[in-house]
Amino acid sequence: MAYPPQLPSATPRAVESSLFHLVVLITLSVVCAFVWLIVSWIIVPDIIQQKNLRDRGVEETAEVTGLHLENHKGSIHHHVTYAFHVKDGFYTGESVVSEKDYLKLNIGSKIDIVYDPTKLETSQQNIENYTQSGQGYKKYISIFLAISAIIAGAYVAVMLHMLRSRQFEMRLLMWGAQTTAKITRETQYETRQGKRSKITYEFSVPGHGTFIGTRDDIPTEDSPHSFEAALRKALIESPIALYQPDDPRKNALYPLTEVSLRQ
């Protein structure tokens, strides 16, 4: 079957989502779900640990055994290592504290910590009742919810953009008038997938004047893919502009990106 399908002049035309639209939709959904799962895998164990320390943690006094700083992309983190005695053994732990609290400490200083009696290797500093009051738990919950909101917000924003774009193309392909266009300029640019082109076109509508449009992400003439070669041939050699009869400023070159003629 020839690509693209011949564009009927009669309207409304029967349309459907293009393969490109479906691929982008599935890819976006998978990527967002994967990112959220990675975030959950990293943060949820900390949330559970903080909750356990808040609910069943036992307060104890520990001795500072080490103090050191770590630079994380320009942000200085203040680390404190400590040791404490429980039952018949000694256990160690490490916490990140504020600069203010860090400067008050020395090797051998006594600090308050909270440990999990069911998992003695799990402990955390309890300066000013930080852990037992649930501040650590609330902090990680807030971080998790904030990142989840960012991921969801980005997903919704992209989906709304795609929906508006798809609705625009659907109306254009169903009801748009068609006319021959002329390619006036082509420029190439680099992408991660290789070279692509951006074309500028113009077309005239009797009684309305001449209109100019652009379209990017066009395959270059040296593309090895047959589908891309057919798409480029249709756009460059026989360009057809679709436009809204009542407002030719709303236009695009056929074939469109997100919708296609129903076969």
Mean pLDDT of 106-135: 86
pTM: 0.71
With cut-offs at 50, 70 and 90, classify the pLDDT of residue 98: confident
> Residue 131's closest CA among 145, 121, 116, 142?
116
**In whole numbers, what is the pLDDT of the chain averaged over residues?**
90
List where CATH 2.40.50 sits in the chain.
58-127
pLDDT at 192: 85
Four-way CATH pick for 58-127: 1.20.1300, 2.40.50, 1.10.3470, 2.40.170? 2.40.50
Residue whose tokens read 């976006």 = 28
Q: Is the pLDDT of residue 129 over 80?
A: no
- Residue 2: the pLDDT is 64
Region of poorest pLDDT, from 88-92, 104-108, 150-154, 245-249? 88-92
Q: What is the pLDDT of residue 73?
A: 80
User: Measured between alpha carbons, how far is 260 from 263 in angstroms, rounded to an integer?
Assistant: 9
Of 159, 193, 165, whose CA–CA distance to 29 is shortest? 159
Checking if the pLDDT of 124 tops 70, the result is yes
Each residue of 146-160: pLDDT tens digit? 999 999 999 999 999
Asked if residue 130 has pLDDT above 80, the reply is no
Q: What is the pLDDT of residue 84?
A: 95
Q: What percent of the chain has pLDDT over 70?
A: 99
Confidence class for position 65, pLDDT limits 50, 70, 90: very high
Tens of pLDDT along 72-86?
888 899 999 999 999
